[in-house]
Amino acid sequence: MGSVKESITKKKIFEFCIREFARAGYANVSIRNISKGAGISIGAIYYYFSSKEQIGQFLYDKTTEIILNKIRLGIKKAPNDKEALRSIIYNLFDMSEKEPHLMEFILYVKHKEFLPDAPPICSSKPFEFIKNFIKEKIESGVFRDMDIVIASALIMGPVIRIIQLRMDNILNNDIRLYTESLLNGIVKSLFKEQ
C-alpha cells in the first residue's frame, strides 16, 4: 500500500498527463512538461516512475480500471438485462460529460506509441467485460444468436461514435440525453423478445 504522499503525487501526475496526452499527444509531452504542469519535481516523478512510458502505462491501467469498475458496478446494480445495457450506455456517456479528458485519452491517444505490446483498446479489460456480458446473454438465450464481435459492435459502435461526436463538438447537447433512444435501437438489434 502506497503512502499518502505517493497517492497525491501520482494523482497530480495522472490529472495533468490525462489532459496533456489527450490534448498534445504523448510524444509532445516531456518529463519537464509533466514536472511543471503537475507542480512536481523531476526527481519526484522519477522516484515513482522510471520512464515516461511507465507513466503512460500507469494512465492506461488506471483509466481502463476506472471504466471497468463503473461498467461492472452498473451491471451489478441493474435489476434486468435491459437496465444493464442502459447502465453501460449511460455510464460511458456520463463519464464523457464529467471526465472528458479520460475518454479522450482512451479514444484518441495513440497507445501504441508508449505501449507497443498492449492490445487494441477494443480488447482492453472494460471491453472484454462487456463482451463476456454479451456472450453470457447469447448463451442464456436473452440475446439473439450472433457473433459476439458483431453484438459488441452493435452496442459499442454507436456509443463510441456519439462520444466522439460530442468530443469533436458536433453534438452540443449533453449526450446522456441520447441514452434512451440509443438503448431502444440496441434492444431491437440484440434481444430475442422485447
**Residues whose CB is less than 8 angstroms from the CB of residue 186 and which lie 6 or more positions away in sequence, other chains included:** 85, 89, 154, 155, 158
| Residue 112 lies inside a defined structural domain of this protein | yes
CATH number of the structural domain spanning residue 127 = 1.10.357.10
**Residues whose CB is less than 8 angstroms from the CB of residue 101 and which lie 6 or more positions away in sequence, other chains included:** 18, 19, 22, 23
| Residue 36 lies inside a defined structural domain of this protein | no
Domains in the chain, number? 1
Q: What is the pLDDT of residue 107?
A: 85
Q: What is the mean pLDDT of residues 41-66?
A: 92
Q: Among residues of the chain, what percentage have pLDDT more than 70?
A: 98
| Residue 92 lies inside a defined structural domain of this protein | yes
**What is the rounded average pLDDT for all residues in the chain?**
91
Q: What is the residue range of 77's domain?
A: 59-190
Over residues 151-191, the pLDDT tens digits come to: 999 999 999 999 999 999 999 999 999 999 999 999 999 99
CA 159 to chain centroid: 12
Q: What is the pLDDT of residue 2?
A: 63
What contacts 24+ positions apart, CB below 8 Å, involve 184-191?
Answer: 185/158, 186/85, 186/89, 186/154, 186/155, 186/158, 187/82, 187/85, 189/154, 190/85, 190/134, 190/137, 190/143, 190/144, 190/151, 190/154, 190/155, 191/81, 191/82, 191/142, 191/143, 191/144
More confident call, 4 vs 181: 181
| Residue 71 lies inside a defined structural domain of this protein | yes
Over residues 74-124, the pLDDT tens digits come to: 999 999 999 999 999 999 999 999 999 989 888 888 878 888 887 777 778
Q: What is the pLDDT of residue 194?
A: 56
Q: What is the pLDDT of residue 178?
A: 96
| Residue 107 lies inside a defined structural domain of this protein | yes
| Residue 78 lies inside a defined structural domain of this protein | yes
